[in-house]
Amino acid sequence: MSLIGKLVRLRPFEPEEADTVWRWHNDPDVTRWLEESYPEPLAAIRKRWADRPANCFQRTVFGIETRAESRLIGVVVLRDATPEHGRAELDIYIGEKDCWNGGYGTDAMRVMCRYGFDFMRLHAIELSVVDENERARHVYRKVGFVEEGRLREAFRRDGRWHDVYVMSLLEGELVDG
């Protein structure tokens, strides 16, 4: 099963890469539209990363690496997969801001969705995205995700509530570039 796209390669994380992920988690530009968790000390994320279970059907986490420079730039996850329904949830972010708008997110989405449909034999992939996150919504639509519903005032940031779209992509709907 190929995890190689046009611009990126997806691969498991190494424990020592916890520091890079911690830096991304502490960048407010990166986390602006991501679900917020309580701040975590670097030592805690290092331990969590070292103890992390191997990727499996229920939860697969890949680092996004550029093909050209083998540079780690982000994370893509398929989680909460259920074999009974053939569904899973996808999360993605590019933590290296100088790589935004470089085509990497779109390519990583395509590779991960192909992996979900072809290898994991999923029937549908779902995700949630905040209304104002126009770039992410554009990318998701571009690869074939459709909006299924809108959760009113489901996300709070900077003292304001924002609506959240639930989107999904069915097997056979992935739009290749």
Ligand X SMILES: CC(C)(COP(=O)(O)OP(=O)(O)OC[C@H]1O[C@@H](n2cnc3c(N)ncnc32)[C@H](O)[C@@H]1OP(=O)(O)O)[C@@H](O)C(=O)NCCC(=O)NCCS
Q: Which stretch binds ligand X (CB under 6 A): 14-22, 36-44, 138-146, 152-160?
A: 138-146
Q: Closest approach of Cβ 51 to ligand X, in Å? A: 26
62 binds ligand X (CB under 6 A): no
Contacts (CB under 6 A) with ligand X, residues 89-118: 92-94, 100-106
Q: Closest approach of Cβ 130 to ligand X, in Å? A: 7
126 binds ligand X (CB under 6 A): no
Of 81 and 96, nearer to ligand X (C-beta) is: 96
Q: Which stretch binds ligand X (CB under 6 A): 29-37, 46-54, 145-153, 156-164?
A: 29-37
Which CA distances in Å does 42 have to 19, 46, 47? Answer: 7, 6, 9
The correct pick among 34, 77, 154, 170 for binding ligand X (CB under 6 A) is: 34
In a 3-state reduction of DSSP, which class is residue 56?
coil
The correct pick among 21, 30, 125, 143 for binding ligand X (CB under 6 A) is: 30
Q: Which stretch binds ligand X (CB under 6 A): 55-63, 136-144, 154-162, 165-173?
A: 136-144
Of 99 and 122, nearer to ligand X (C-beta) is: 99
Residue-wise burial string across 117-130, b where 16 or more C-beta atoms lie within 10 A, e elsewhere? beebebebbbbebb
> What is d(CA 142, CA 33) in angstroms, rounded to the nearest whole number?
19
Quick one: tokens of 14?
A: 């190494």
Task: Give me the residue label for tokens 């519903």.
Answer: 149
Quick one: tokens of 159?
A: 């003292």
133 binds ligand X (CB under 6 A): yes
**Distant-in-sequence, close-in-space partners of 46: CB < 8 Å, separation ≥ 6:** 15, 18, 19, 22
In a 3-state reduction of DSSP, which class is residue 91?
strand
Q: Give the closest residue to 171 by CA, choosing from 104, 108, 119, 106.
A: 119
- Interface positions with ligand X (CB under 6 A): 30, 33-34, 92-94, 100-106, 129, 133-136, 138-139, 142
